[in-house]
């Protein structure tokens, strides 16, 4: 069933209104003598954890194979980086020692 052009679901409208309200500057649309906005209503802890579980179900978790491959790739990159920095450190150390020998010999 096709939507009518220009219509959007009410959930999208509500989300757009909330986003616009959150993004608006603190004083936008209010008179200069207006009181501070009312604090947000506290969420029930049971409702909070229910929402957390619902959001956790939306996560696309990696497979064991993907995790293993990524871990091996990270390990290889760490080894390569350590070899690179060891070589650079050795080269700089050698150059400084040669400069110091040259300075003290002459």
pLDDT digits (tens, 9 = 90+) for 30-45: 455 566 777 777 778 9
Q: What is the predicted pLDDT for the residue at 68?
A: 98
Sign, Cα dihedral of 59, 64, 68, 71: positive
Higher pLDDT, 16 or 30: 16
Higher pLDDT, 105 or 39: 105
In the chain, helix, strand, coil percent, each to 5?
65, 0, 35
Average pLDDT over residues 6-21: 64
Q: What is the predicted pLDDT for the residue at 3?
A: 56
Average pLDDT over residues 39-55: 88
CA–CA gap between residue 72 and residue 52 (Å, rounded): 31
């Amino acid at each position: 069933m096709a939507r009518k052009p220009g219509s959007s679901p009410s959930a999208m409208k509500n989300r757009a209104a909330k986003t616009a309200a959150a993004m608006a500057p603190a004083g936008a649309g209010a008179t200069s003598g207006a009181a501070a906005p009312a604090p947000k209503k506290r969420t029930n802890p049971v409702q909070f954890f229910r929402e957390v579980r619902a959001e956790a179900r939306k996560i696309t978790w990696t497979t064991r194979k993907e995790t293993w491959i990524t871990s091996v790739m990270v390990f290889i990159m760490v080894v390569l980086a350590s070899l690179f920095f060891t070589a650079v450190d050795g080269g700089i150390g050698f150059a400084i020692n040669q400069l110091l020998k040259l300075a003290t010999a002459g």
